[in-house]
Amino acid sequence: MGRFSKMHGLGNDFVVIDARESAIDMTEARARAIADRHAGIGCDQLILIGQSDDADVSMQIFNADGSEVEACGNATRCVPLFVGRDVLIRTRAGLLDAKSVDGGASVDMGAPRFDWDAIPLAYPMDTLTMNASWEDLPAPAAVNVGNPHVIFFVDDLDTVNFDRLGPLIEHDPLFPQRVNVNFAQVIGDNHIRLVVWERGAGLTRACGTGACATAVAAVRRKLMTGPVTVSLPGGDLVIAWAPGGSIRMTGPATHVFDGEADWSRF
């Protein structure tokens, strides 16, 4: 039997497993089975906390479809709560410094990348105003914040068909590693409303890296200067970034319950 914690950041929910003492052999199929909301435990992402040579802990991230990915902003805020103290976390996207704040955490998410091959895109293109279009969406921006994001600034979010456009764009050959699809509307000074179709998970109530990428794109496009409040279906995040610097993300983290499961059944 193995123990796990159910946690979430703004309703983006996680099964978090402590693999520091006893390692668990996580495969794509096993991660997908655990994440299954009908036949498994259910989550948007499965998080494995392990030992690290150069940080307090390591964090591995698996999407609900079983794919292992580089970054997850909302899960990163849950790690200090899970471990019980401020932590330096080794991820595939680099070292992340996560500190507890009242009700959540504040994380240095590192510096964003904008080169076409760092997103990555399939061929060279300006990533601030991309030469690409899908139906009547405006030209998007692309930002890599450890994982790949494309951002559409639309006039009215309520007119967007997320369920149709999200998977269409996620799987477009322009994005060889697929992509997280962000639909954003500027609703005030330094204030954005955001809905994210996540790569490997679909529509979620919140995406921390999506909020980071969108705030960065808004500052790059000179739509605002920040700090930016990003209002997602699950609640608000505050993202601070200035050109040349790293991104600071601050927001809630919640522990829901602890459980036990027999991993050999998955």
Residues annotated catalytic, as ranges: 72, 207
Q: HEC profile for the chain? A: CEEEEEEEECCEEEEEEECCCCCCCCCHHHHHHHHCCCCCCCCCEEEEEECCCCCCEEEEEEECCCCEECCCHHHHHHHHHHHCCCEEEEECCEEEEEEEECCEEEEECCCCECCCCCCCCCCCCCCCCCCCCCCCCCCCEEEECCCEEEEEECCCHHHCCHHHHHHHHHCCCCCCCCCEEEEEEEEECCEEEEEEEECCCEECCCCHHHHHHHHHHHHHCCCCCCCEEEEECCEEEEEECCCCCCCEEEEECEEEEEEEECHHHC
**Under 8 Å between Cβ of 68 and 61:** yes
Residue 59 vs 72, nearer CB to ligand LBFN2T5F:
72
Nearest approach, Cβ of residue 205 and ligand LBFN2T5F (Å): 10
Residue 73 vs 112, nearer CB to ligand LBFN2T5F:
73
| Binding residues for ligand LBFN2T5F, total number by CB under 6 A | 18
Site map (CB under 6 A) of ligand LBFN2T5F, residues 45-64, x = contact: x-----------------x-
Q: Any known ligand binding at 147?
A: yes
Q: Which of 110, 200, 234, 251 binds ligand LBFN2T5F (CB under 6 A)?
A: 200
207 binds ligand LBFN2T5F (CB under 6 A): yes
Binding segment toward ligand LBFN2T5F, per CB under 6 A, in 23-31, 100-108, 197-205, 236-244: 197-205
Q: Any known ligand binding at 74?
A: yes
Binding segment toward ligand LBFN2T5F, per CB under 6 A, in 26-34, 105-113, 192-200, 254-262: 192-200
Binding segment toward ligand LBFN2T5F, per CB under 6 A, in 130-138, 157-165, 195-203, 222-230: 195-203
Q: Which of 198, 230, 237, 247 binds ligand LBFN2T5F (CB under 6 A)?
A: 198
Sequence-distant (6+) residues with CB within 8 A of 266 are: 30, 33, 34, 40
Q: Any known ligand binding at 27?
A: no
List binding-site positions. 12, 45, 63, 73-74, 147, 180, 198-199, 208-209
- Residues engaged in binding ligand LBFN2T5F (CB under 6 A): 12, 44-45, 63, 69, 72-74, 147, 180, 198-201, 204, 207-209
